Amino acid sequence: MSQTILVTGGAGYIGSHTAVALTERGHNVVIVDNLDNSSIGAIETIRRLTGKEIPFHEVDLLDSDALGAVFDEHPIESVIHFAGLKAVGESVEKPLSYYQTNLISTMNLLQQMENHHVWQLVFSSSATVYGDPEILPIPESAKTGPTNPYGQTKLMIEDICRDVAAADDRWQISLLRYFNPVGAHPSGDLGEDPQGIPNNLVPFVMQVAVGRREQVNVFGNDWDTSDGTGVRDYIHVLDLASGHLAALENIEAGCDVFNLGTGNGSSVLDVIKTTEHVSGQAVPFEIIERREGDIATSLADPRKANDKLAWRADRNLEVMLADSWHWQSRHPNGYAESES
C-alpha cells in the first residue's frame, strides 16, 4: 500500500537512491536534509529520474521545531532515517560534534514522531558496530564493540531505539546494519559524491581511474586474507535501497536488527583489478602501511534479512563497479559539474 515516507538525509548517497526506489514503488516521499554533505543537484536528479516534484525541506535535524513543521505539513506515516555524520577519522578528531549531531538529531526525530503519532522507523546503522569481529561471517547476534566515536553513535542510537520501542508497543523499528555500500544508479546520474579526498576505497579508486588522482594507496598487504589486502562485503546501493523497501514492508512491532550485505568478500586488489576491467583504465597502486583502526575482514551473514525480509543482494562486484564507473565517468566532479 502506498505511504507517505519521510526520508531524512535524502540528498545523500544512500538516501537519494532509496528515495528513487520508494517513489518508483508508488510511495510519496518527503525529503529533509541540511545539505551538509550533499548538494541540491541530487534532489534535482531524484525529481528528474522519477518525474515527481518530490517535496524537499532544507532542515537541520538539530532544529526540532523546523523538523516538527515538516511533520505538520505532510501526512507522514513512516520514516527512513539516513541523516547524520559518517566519517570515521573525523569522528576521532571531533567526537563531540559526532555525538551531538547523530544523537540529538535522532532524539529530535523520535520526539517529533511521537508528537505526530508516527510509529514506523527504519534506521541506518552500520557493520562498524561489530568492531573487530570474532566470528565470520558476522551474524546479528555477534558481540558489538565499535572502535571509534562514529561507531559508538550508531550503537547508542540502536540502544535508544530499543528502549523507546520497549516502552511503548506502538513503535515498529528496523535497525539496518549496512556493510560496504558502493555502486550508483544505472542512469549514471546519481552516485556517491564525497567532499575532498575520499576516505573510502571505491570512490578513491574511481577518482584514480578517471584521472583525478595519481594512484591508490593500498593500506597493507600483510593481512590474514587470501591476497594479504583487506576483505570487505561490498553491496550495491540499489540492493541496499531495496533492502529498505523490504524492511518497511515487513516491519513488525518492537525493534529488530538486520545485516544488509551479500555474504561475499572482495579484497582491495579485487576492487582495483575489477575496476580496471570494467573501465578499461589503468588503476596504478602502491602498497603502504596499514591504516590505523582497520581490520582484516568484514563479512555479513545476511540470512536473517534473506529469511525475514524476503530480501537478497543480487548484484555482484563487477556490476557494482561498472555502475560506479558509469557515474564517475559521466560526472568526474560529482554534482559540481563546473569544478575543474
Q: Cβ contacts of residue 273 below 8 Å, gap of 6+?
A: none
Residue type for position 83: A
268 binds, among ligand WQD, ligand NAD, none (CB under 5 to 8 A by kind): ligand WQD
Count Cβ neighbours within 10 Å for each residue of 251-278 and write b for 16 or more, e otherwise: beeebbbbbbbbbbbbbbbbbbebbbeb
Q: Which residue is nearest to ligand NAD (CB)?
A: 12
Active-site position among 13, 150, 178, 234: 150
Residue 150 is among the residues annotated as catalytic for this protein: yes
Q: Is residue 35 within the footprint of ligand NAD (CB under 6 A)?
A: yes
Exactly one of 83, 164, 235, 246 binds ligand NAD (CB under 6 A); that residue is 83
Choose from ligand WQD, ligand NAD, none: what does 219 bind? Cβ within 5-8 Å by kind. ligand WQD
50 is written with which cell numbers? 522519477
- Of 99 and 219, which has the nearer Cβ to ligand WQD? 219
Residues in contact with 159: Cβ distance below 8 Å, sequence separation at least 6, in sequence order: none
Burial code (b: 16+ CB inside 10 Å, e: under 16) for 1-16 equals eebebbbbbbbbbbbb
Note the maximum CA span of the chain: 56
DSSP H or E stretch at residue 216: strand 216-219
Report in angstroms how near the CB of residue 71 gets to ligand WQD at its nearest: 27
- Taking CB under 6 A as the criterion, the residue among 3, 28, 52, 60 binding ligand NAD is 60
Residues 163-182 that bind ligand WQD (CB under 6 A): 180
Q: How crowded is the C-beta side of 210, counted as CA atoms within 13 Å?
A: 20
Q: How far is the CB of 24 from ligand NAD (least distance, A)?
A: 18
Site string for ligand WQD, 267-286 (x = CB under 6 A): -x------------------
> Which residues 7-66 are close enough to bind ligand WQD by CB under 6 A?
none
94 binds ligand WQD, rule: CB under 6 A? no
Helix axes 201-209, 268-279, angle to 10 degrees: 40
Contacts of 201 by beta carbon, 8 Å cutoff, 6+ apart: 216, 232, 268, 271
Binding-site member from 3, 28, 36, 290 for ligand NAD (CB under 6 A): 36
Binding status of residue 266 toward ligand WQD by CB under 6 A = no
> Which does residue 82 bind out of ligand NAD, ligand WQD, none, counting CB within 5 to 8 angstroms by kind?
ligand NAD
The three cell numbers of residue 21 are 526506489
| Options 131, 146, 181, 334; binder of ligand NAD; rule CB under 6 A | 181
Share in percent of the chain as helix, strand, coil (round to 5): 40, 20, 40
Q: Which residues are catalytic?
A: 150
By CB under 6 A, name the binding residues for ligand NAD.
9, 11-15, 33-38, 60-62, 82-86, 101, 105, 124, 126, 178, 181
